[in-house]
Amino acid sequence: MKSRTTKVVLGAIAAVAALVVIWGAMHHGPETWAGKLLARFKGESQPARTGDAGPRTPRIEIVAGHPDTIRFTDEAYKTVGVTLFEVESAPPPDPLRLPGSLVLDPNRLVRVHSRFTGELIKIGDVNPRAGNNAERDGNSLRTLRYGDYVKKGDVMAIVWSKEIGEKKSELVDAISKLDADQKLLERLESTEKGVVAEKVKIDARRTVQADAIALARAERTLRSWRISDEEIAAIYREADDVRKRQADTDNDKTWAELEIKAPIDGLIVEKSVNEGAMIDPDDVLFQVADLSQLMVLANIYEEDLPALRKLDPSQHKWLVDLKSDPDDKPREGSFDLIGTIIDPEAHTGVVMGWLDNSEAHLAAGQFITATIALPADPHLVTIPSSALIEQGDTSYVLVETNAERHEFTRRKVTVKRRWRHSVYICRDSGTEGSGRGESDKGQSNGCGADSLKVGEKVIVTGVLELSAEFDAAQSRSEEQQ
């Protein structure tokens, strides 16, 4: 009894629901879900809503015989608003800015030694009021010190050396002995034959020859010690005075003295001794530097070294400006040596060059910045990043191959460098222009066909959507075949 009652109730509910559906379809139109349902029961098709697009007409088509080339219809080309970019040569990279400092040129730095062991009895004099190249006068002299300028040949120090005195005396002895033996030989030769035995004359001649050899040896020894011609001439005069017994006693006071003279024009950058010091040939008395040219030591990161080593020697130029002077104008210079040793801590190498300082406006030890301009890579071109179509590890661009017919070819390219808004692509080494012939392929500086020419035009807007339509067009073309 209960089961029959339940069936009656459910049937009544279903009938009411059917009436509601029919009433809604009659009063609210076919757009409602009820109308759709009623139409389905009646077997009628649902009309399209206002604004629904019908079957889309393809905007592109595959060019017959060229599966990688598409053609836009005239209407689609106008409505899409294709934006093109003309391929350009890659611009030069940012210049290298290398920090560094100025140092003394080791090729213009001379260490001054004494050639003999002895006592340094006097430091040379200088006029502090005189300029670097001014003539010395006898006023306001003082002893040399660090920072003084000397000219080549100026006396920097005087050393008292026993060796010098002995060698000078040996020369005097040789001169006197030769003179005496020469006079003896002349007397023997002037005698009549038979008065003096011939052997005596022969021995006298040999003695004179030996004296001449000893004299030459003593003189050569002094010259090898860089004793000047004036000093050697003074020794000959001293020997002559000895023969005349007119020796100058004042000469004895300077007999063993040796003057140490400046080897070059330059600045004293080191003074290591004072008067009264005992010295030997290994001691460095002074260091004199020619500051008309300074060495530049600049530090470069190891990742920048390859670009620097690719430069031609004629491009080894840089501009050097001082960090300490904001108004300083960069000075032109050159670098010759690119270091081959990397600092393991800083991972930097050293670039060495030279800078003219003939006006003496620069100082060793100053911090500098060296700027090196790098040329553009002739094997690269640049396009906007938006022109790339990335598919896995492969990159493509849509290149215009026929402007009149709106034809574009999807070409694989090799990306060498990526920036924020642009990329560098392998450059085609063939004839530049908008076309691309078969003969150009494989001659792209190691890039094969994956390259672009300067002057070609590529699409830079909507390339992802166009690439999808490209694939769809290829599929339709394959189905039709």
Q: What is the pTM of this model?
A: 0.59
Q: Is the distance from CB of 260 to CB of 112 less than 8 angstroms?
A: yes
The secondary structure of residue 394, as a DSSP letter, is E
- Contacts with 297 (C-beta within 8 Å, 6 or more apart), sequence order: 100, 101, 102, 103, 350, 351, 352
Show the DSSP H helices in 47-197 as ranges. 74-80, 162-190
If we measure between CA atoms, which residue out of 373, 377, 376 comes closest to residue 446?
Answer: 377
Report the C-alpha gap between 387 and 470 in whole angstroms: 15
140, 143, 148, 153 alpha-carbon torsion, rounded to 10° = 100
Task: Check if 60-90+378-480 and 96-106+290-372 are the same fold.
Answer: no
DSSP letter for each residue of 390-458: EETTEEEEEEEEETTTTEEEEEEE-EEEE-SSEEEEEBP-S--SS---GGGTT-STT-TT--B-TT-EE
* Token representation of residue 415: 């990306």
Query: 3-class DSSP state for residue 356?
Result: strand
Q: Which residue has the tokens 């009894």?
A: 1
- Residue 456: CA atoms inside 13 Å, Cβ hemisphere, count? 28
Q: Please report, for the chain, the start and end positions of each structural domain, with discontinuous segments joined by +.
A: 2-42, 60-90+378-480, 96-106+290-372, 113-288
Q: Is the distance from CB of 320 to CB of 333 less than 8 angstroms?
A: yes
Q: Is the distance from CB of 297 to CB of 105 less than 8 angstroms?
A: no
429, 431, 434, 437 alpha-carbon torsion, rounded to 10° = -90
434, 437, 439, 444 alpha-carbon torsion, rounded to 10° = 40
Report the C-alpha gap between 268 and 124 in whole angstroms: 12
Q: Is the distance from CB of 380 to CB of 416 less than 8 angstroms?
A: yes
The gap from C-alpha 264 to its chain's centroid, in whole angstroms, comes to 31
pLDDT at 40: 43
Q: Which residue has the tokens 């020419």?
A: 453
Show the DSSP H helices in 191-293 as ranges. 198-224, 229-243, 249-254
- Contacts with 119 (C-beta within 8 Å, 6 or more apart), sequence order: 159, 160, 161, 276, 277, 278, 279
First to last CA, the chain: 71
In 10 A of CB 250, how many CB atoms?
8
* Token representation of residue 138: 């006898």
Q: Is the distance from CB of 98 to CB of 370 less than 8 angstroms?
A: yes
129, 135, 137, 141 alpha-carbon torsion, rounded to 10° = 50
pLDDT at 179: 87
Q: Is the distance from CB of 60 to CB of 470 less than 8 angstroms?
A: yes
CATH no., domain 96-106+290-372: 2.40.30.170
Q: What top-level class would CATH report for the domain 60-90+378-480?
A: mainly beta
Q: Which residue has the tokens 């000078």?
A: 168
Query: Over its length of 481 residues, how does the chain's per-residue pLDDT go in tens digits?
Result: 445 555 555 565 666 555 554 555 454 444 444 444 444 444 444 444 444 444 555 677 888 888 888 888 888 888 888 899 999 999 998 899 999 999 999 899 999 998 888 999 999 988 766 554 444 455 568 889 998 999 998 999 999 988 888 888 888 888 888 888 888 888 888 888 777 888 888 888 999 999 899 989 988 888 887 787 888 888 888 777 766 665 555 555 677 888 889 999 999 999 999 999 999 999 999 999 999 999 999 999 999 998 889 898 888 999 999 888 777 788 888 898 888 888 888 889 999 998 888 888 888 889 999 999 999 888 899 999 999 999 888 899 999 999 999 899 999 999 988 888 999 999 876 544 434 444 444 444 556 557 899 999 999 988 888 888 888 877 777 766 6
To the nearest 10 degrees (0 to 180), the angle between helices 162-190 and 229-243 is 50
